[in-house]
Amino acid sequence: MAEIIHTISQVKSEALEIFRKEFGKDSDICVFAPGRVNLIGEHTDYNEGFVLPMALPMVTMIVGKLNGKSTCTIVSTSKSLTTTSKIEFEVSDRSKVVPGEPKWANYVKGCIAFFPADVPGFDAVIVSTVPMGSGLSSSAALEVATYTFIEALTGVECKDLRDKALICQKAEHQFANVPCGIMDQFISVIGQQGHALLLDCRDLSVTQIPMDGIDNYAFLITNSNAPHKLSSSAFRERRDACFEAAKKLGKKSLREVTLDDLESLKKEGATETMLKRVSHVINENSRTLAATAAFKAGDYVKVGELMNESHDSLRDNYEVSSHELDTLVNTARKVAGVLGSRLTGAGFAVTAINTEMF
């Protein structure tokens, strides 16, 4: 069954009402940050490649107000953050801002700990419509919303949005102990309505890609209801294979490697598995750039073809799909009007649709 996505105004009304009930006063700050879906460019980020995500209408919203204390009190009523909970901790003394329970609060604490100015006491309510653990970046949305809230609270704004994204990433690395890439924070900070974002993970340059002619098309995000995450060891195996391959070729990363180098890799004793991993990364970078060009040209048929190729490579070469995801993708591809479908995130698929066919 399709899930109704609440509008930002609906989420705001809910958050403001909860704040009044919890704290007996009106909030005077309201900020939000979006989740994201990666259209193409999978397992390329840690290989200094390209990714092409877009922001979603699902958001994490924070409303709040200064409380004149040295502590903050935060209420989360979001399903995305597991349970309704309330937490209070010291903010005036940074040495006391440390990871702990509940886990969702660590993302908030990390942003407070690394904020480049003193953070005063505050009361806040968090409401999120970004599904947790879905690969739609609920954690990045929480981090970016938190940082934006503190900016509004203190009047100290980050001059370079890339620095803001990097601080949020640092919060996730050091407080949530999650070695995430940079894509999620970048799209949540920099994403624009009606655009995808081409991110070069080597130099962190970004290009807003307008989705011209999008009115007749849609991207459908579907849940396989079978969350499929690589174990830490399986992820490490793939990452290490990529790093080892680059090292064998005397390159800093697979970004510098071409398909012509595969023969050299074979001579260096690369396994068939390593060659498959490298082949995916090289071709996925090419597909991401080709998809960018197709978006600019309004060629959504080409975008769909590239999405199909991406999924097939993730299934066969990178071996990160699942039976449920393959079933979801293959079923979607059989429907008239579907241009392409691929896995994205943990248990989700994204499908490009020509809405004129429905």
The catalytic residue positions are 184
Report the C-alpha gap between 298 and 276 in whole angstroms.
31
Helices (H), the chain: 8-23, 104-113, 138-154, 161-175, 183-190, 232-248, 262-267, 272-297, 300-316, 323-333
Rounded to a whole number of angstroms, the CA Rg of the chain reads 21
Q: Could you count the other beta carbons within 10 Å of the beta carbon of residue 85?
A: 16
Q: Which of 127, 91, 123, 145 is nearest to 26 (CA)?
A: 123
Per residue, the 3-state secondary structure of 79-146, as one string, reads: HHHCCCEEEEEECCCHHHCCCCCCCHHHHHHHHHHCCCCCCCCEEEEEEECCCCCCCCCHHHHHHHHH
The b/e string for 43-62 (b: 16+ C-beta within 10 A; e otherwise) is bbbbbbbbbbbbbbebbbbb
Q: List strands edge to edge, sheet with 338-344.
A: 217-223, 348-354, 338-344
Q: Which of 246, 218, 255 is nearest to 340 (CA)?
A: 218
